[in-house]
Structure 1
Amino acid sequence: MSEKNREGKRAARDRLAAQREKQKSAEKRRRGMIVGAAIICVLALATVGGLLAANAGKKSSASGPTIGPSGATGKDGLAIPVGKEAARSTLTVWEDFRCPACKVFETVYRPTLRELVDAGKLKVEYHLVTLIDGNMGGSGSLHAANAAACAQDAGKFKAYHDVLYDNQPKETEDTFADHAKLIGLAGKVGGLDTPTFQKCVKDGTHNGWVKKSNDAFEKGHFTGTPTVLLGDKNIIEDRTMTPAKLKQLVEAAHKS
């Protein structure tokens, strides 16, 4: 074989190897796009329940005085903050504990949010609403939100918040309407199941506050739950958003 032929074959092999590397890179990018799109699609599909509730659930069964939980902040004291006040970025989450889409968001984003909050780079402000009660009937959204506010009084909101989502019933089942169920779940959070917490849950101490929060959601003309705002941007509507991208945005703001 001549030197010219050997060089030609080497060049062909090099071109083939380069083409394979390009294909591998393209496939890797494609898989990444599929994962990101899948997350958004699951959230979008699950949000249908919240969207229907937003249209149907214009009335709340909550009543009584407005007694906000300890440490509530924001306009009219309707936000439950998690994280350091000095964090450069704030994520505003409007959620319903009966909402399947809210659980999807929690499942996908919780590890990233926890990491950013623990690092002091992000503060999350939770707003509790009762859309599913209005759409499906019942009072589970209201009672769960009140119980979460009672947990906030005890300084254990986030832990109980996570327990509620980890034990979320089917959207059609009003399991959280049962005070005994909510109190039983408090047993999964160390030091929360106390007589004070139990009384707060049974009395519906924060029901009026939950109603006021739900009213604020409706006045905000949001389309469904979860509504998740980073600044003024609803990240649920961003089809390119992933936990990794959110982390990049928060860390960039932290460094600026």
Structure 2
Amino acid sequence: MSENNPEGKRAARDRLQAERERQRSRDRQRRMLIALAAVVGVLAVVALIGMMVGGLDDDGDDDEPVSYPRGAVGEDRLTLPVGQADAPAVLTVYEDFRCPACAQFEAGFGKTINELVDAGKLRAEYRLVRLIDGNFGGSGSRNAANAAACAQDAGEFVPYHDLLFRSQPPETDDAFADKGRLKELAGKIDGLRGKTFDACVDEGRYDGWVNASDDAFAESGHNSTPTVLLDGESIYGQGSGLTPESFRRLVEDAGTS
């Protein structure tokens, strides 16, 4: 083809222009595919991270590692003992710090229990659960139980346990979910409040232990709180007619049998 042929030159330019357009189109498609692949990859990573973080943040995660309060005993170390190990009678109490019936039990029998423990006639074993959290939602049962376990580390479980029940909010009020409130109450007990206790409460050090204790309660066959057992036999509940005086006699009789 002659270079002096105008028609030939135009045809060549048109072919070159068309080829350039096709190349630009291919380049755009390639860039779009690369960008799309990058977006899909990022979304996949974000989703994976979200699932991992969600698993870590789940308040009800029963698989989180378990740390044990100082002195915890029994099967799976889920019991907080009070009193002499060789006391002639053993009282097992399943309690929830948000449970009104538990607060009523403590108001009626707590003083007698403490007196019998101090006299060496009774060993009390407390099992802390979070039944009300499940019934009404929230985390006050768990947070209060964790704080009580932190008090156990400091050797102040009994006074803090008793104070929590005396300070109990209405059942539907999740006030114990506020860790600041739990620390404020601890300040009323000499020697309890401090950096160690506060850190234990803030980080939920014994949340896994509380969850494990609650799981064991669900598997125990008991379904309400308080569940109160004297040497393995239920003694408190609807129609039991138990009084502090009759409870004292039961304990003393158990110690002589």
TM-score (norm 1): 0.75
Name the SS of the counterpart of 1:191 in structure 2.
Answer: coil
Matched, 1:177 2:185: no
Q: Deviations over 1:80-136 (max 9, x none)?
A: 001111100000000000000000000000121111011000000000000000010
Give the alignment of 1:51-70 within 5 angstroms.
61-63=60-62, 64-70=64-70
Tell me, in whole angstroms, the C-alpha distance in 2 between the residues paired with 1:60 and 1:212.
13
Whichever residue aligns with residue 109 of structure 2, its letter is Y
Tell me, in whole angstroms, the C-alpha distance in 1 between the residues paired with 2:115 and 2:183.
28
RMSD: 1.4
Return closer, same or farther for 1:107/1:192 CA change in 2, 3 Å cut-off. Answer: same
Residue 253 of structure 1: aligned partner = 254
Q: Give the count of matched residue pairs.
A: 198
Tell me, in whole angstroms, the C-alpha distance in 1 between the residues paired with 2:209 and 2:183.
20
Whichever residue aligns with residue 251 of structure 2, its letter is V
Tell me, in whole angstroms, the C-alpha distance in 2 between the residues paired with 1:223 and 1:127.
13
Gaps of 5+ in 2: 1-57
Tell me, in whole angstroms, the C-alpha distance in 1 between the residues paired with 2:144 and 2:213.
14
Tell me, in whole angstroms, the C-alpha distance in 2 between the residues paired with 1:190 and 1:232.
34
Whichever residue aligns with residue 252 of structure 2, its letter is E
Matched, 1:77 2:77: yes
Residue 50 of structure 2: aligned partner = none
Residue 154 of structure 2: aligned partner = 154
Greater length-normalized contact order (CA 8 Å, ≥ 6 residues apart)? 1
Whichever residue aligns with residue 227 of structure 2, its letter is T
Whichever residue aligns with residue 145 of structure 1, its letter is A
Residue 144 of structure 2: aligned partner = 144
Whichever residue aligns with residue 61 of structure 1, its letter is G
Q: Deviations over 1:166-214 (max 9, x none)?
A: 1000001000001100000001111000100000000000000000000
Assess if the C-alpha contact under 8 Å between 1:62 and 1:210 holds in 2: no
Name the SS of the counterpart of 1:236 in structure 2.
Answer: coil
Residue 49 of structure 1: aligned partner = none
Deviation at 1:243, TM superposition (A): 1.4
Residue 120 of structure 1: aligned partner = 120
Gaps of 5+ in 1: 1-58
- Which stretches of structure 1, 4 residues or longer, exceed 6 Å deviation after superposition? none
Residue 223 of structure 2: aligned partner = 223
Tell me, in whole angstroms, the C-alpha distance in 2 between the residues paired with 1:96 and 1:225.
7
Give the alignment of 1:71-110 within 5 angstroms.
71-110=71-110
Tell me, in whole angstroms, the C-alpha distance in 2 between the residues paired with 1:62 and 1:245.
41
Assess if the C-alpha contact under 8 Å between 1:90 and 1:123 holds in 2: yes
Tell me, in whole angstroms, the C-alpha distance in 2 between the residues paired with 1:102 and 1:253.
23
Deviation at 1:240, TM superposition (A): 3.0
Name the SS of the counterpart of 2:81 in structure 1.
Answer: strand
Whichever residue aligns with residue 168 of structure 2, its letter is Q
Tell me, in whole angstroms, the C-alpha distance in 2 between the residues paired with 1:137 and 1:101.
18
Deviation at 1:160, TM superposition (A): 0.4
Whichever residue aligns with residue 233 of structure 1, its letter is E
Residue 13 of structure 1: aligned partner = none
Whichever residue aligns with residue 205 of structure 2, its letter is T
Tell me, in whole angstroms, the C-alpha distance in 2 between the residues paired with 1:128 and 1:100.
14
Assess if the C-alpha contact under 8 Å between 1:61 and 1:139 holds in 2: no
TM-score (norm 2): 0.75
